[in-house]
Amino acid sequence: MDFFEQLRRHLSPADFARMQEWMASLDEATRAEMLEFILARESNAPGVGEAAPDFDLPLLGHEPRRVRLSTFRGERPVALIFGSFT
């Protein structure tokens, strides 16, 4: 399923129409850049139910120690929350 079909499935008809109208208002270069960004992001992201890619991060308050996601595999659930807390 392509990106626009996913949007059509997950947005209300009114929101999908607004999104299409907004995209049509962008100049061609900006629209192409945005779609390239989305394609690169979506093609690199794991699918629903797939394992997250392994990574490590500094352990807050215990630097220079680091923690690796894969050390929790099979041990306990891990919730990955991405966003800004500022």
Task: Kindly give the parts of the chain with pLDDT less than 50.
Answer: none
Check whether the bond before 77 is cis (ω within 30° of 0). no
Q: Is residue 15 part of a domain?
A: yes
- Number of structural domains the chain divides into: 1
- Look at residue 14 and tell me if it is in a domain: yes
56 in any annotated domain: no
Q: Is residue 83 part of a domain?
A: no
For residue 19, give its domain range.
3-44
Model pLDDT, residue 1 = 55
Residue 70 is assigned to a structural domain of this protein: no
With respect to residue 37, please indicate whether it lies within any of the assigned structural domains: yes
Does residue 62 sit within a domain?
Answer: no
* DSSP codes joined into one string, 41-67: HHHHSPPTTSPPPP-EEE-TTSTT-EE
Q: What is the reported pLDDT for 43?
A: 65
pLDDT, residue 63, reads 79
The pLDDT assigned to 21 comes to 92
**Local structure of 68: helix, strand or coil:** strand
The pLDDT value recorded for residue 9 is 87
**11 occurs within a structural domain:** yes
Output the pLDDT for position 84.
Answer: 65
